[in-house]
Structure 1
């Protein structure tokens, strides 16, 4: 399997890259900063330096052409303002979908956010968080509506750096909870291996069910 991951230097992405490479798959990580290339190579991934806030559909399509799947794991990250939640968390996800369709890559896996469609979150949170959660919701809706893509949207809860347990709770709505990044990466790997998850949107937190059973 050949997989291209947008946001290839993120913590979840680096774990997923390592998991894919260790079993012999080919993985490319899209990064903006060329200084991050060595970290991807250490994880077994080939770096593709491309700024998703500036790139054209054709430029991204050239990177993903020939892949079996693309994974959107990019994010504006902590400290970024509301504007970059739109340009990265929403617009870059849409750009990757445009590029996947242009390149004939049907499988699209999205790393979203828990409760992304819950507009009750608009009250009681600051402008940046509201922009983030709306960007995720809008990106999910855009990608999910495309007949040309086989999309799975994974919405993790609060991310931690604790060791993975392989035990999770997956449901359309799980309620609030935390989940290790290692378990999110393991779920993404299982999703890539399970074509039947296409068309699903689900939340993901730590739980008591092995990943294969939870899916």
Structure 2
């Protein structure tokens, strides 16, 4: 399976790419910084220089040729302002969807965030509120398209070791989840075409990833 991952140098993206490469798939990481090429190559991920804030649909679509799926795991990142939350977390996700449509790639996994479906609490940091609005706008855009979209909303992310056990459902209590377990869930979602069309929240838990994904589809 050839999987193109936007935000290829991000922690979740690299963990997913390593996982895919280890089992013989072909992960491709889209990165805008040439300094990140070496790290992806060492991970077994094929790096492609592509700035999703400054590329055309046609340019991005060319990188998606022969892909079986795309994963949007990009983000404006710490220190970015509200404007870039929109141009990356919403705009780049939409651009990737346009490119996927152009390239004939139907499968699209979007890494979103818990909390996007309710108004930010009073006193919420303005930039974080902009991030949540951008993620929700991306969800609304993608789920309205003729693509096979799965939206994954992780809770608070940690760098803890993977447990292989999670809580995954349409709505779950707030909590934390390791980036490694998020990457594991993304890989299983890629393997399950029946997960297209669902939006699920994810935190740590007691259910194996395979069983959690199966239960989410059945629900």
TM above 0.5, yes or no, is yes
Residue correspondence of structure 1 range 161-172 to structure 2 within 5 A: 161-172=159-170
How far off is 1:122 after superposition? 4.9
Residue correspondence of structure 1 range 73-84 to structure 2 within 5 A: 73-84=73-84
* Mapped partners of 2:50, 2:80: distance in 1: 19
How far off is 1:152 after superposition? 0.3
Q: Does the 8 Å CA contact 1:65/1:100 hold for their aligned counterparts?
A: no
Return structure 1 stretches of 4+ with deviation > 2 angstroms: none
Q: Does the 8 Å CA contact 1:28/1:48 hold for their aligned counterparts?
A: yes
* Mapped partners of 2:5, 2:127: distance in 1: 25
Structure 2 equivalent of residue 111 of structure 1: 111
How far off is 1:185 after superposition? 0.1
Indicate the RMSD between aligned Cα atoms, in angstroms.
0.7
User: What residue ranges of structure 1 are gaps of 5+ in the alignment?
Assistant: none
* Mapped partners of 1:61, 1:4: distance in 2: 11
User: What residue ranges of structure 2 are gaps of 5+ in the alignment?
Assistant: 214-219
The secondary structure found in structure 2 opposite 1:136 is: helix
Aligned residue pair count: 213
* Mapped partners of 1:100, 1:106: distance in 2: 7
Structure 2 equivalent of residue 8 of structure 1: 8
* Mapped partners of 2:173, 2:123: distance in 1: 18
Please say if 1:91 is aligned against 2:91: yes
Q: Does the 8 Å CA contact 1:97/1:143 hold for their aligned counterparts?
A: yes
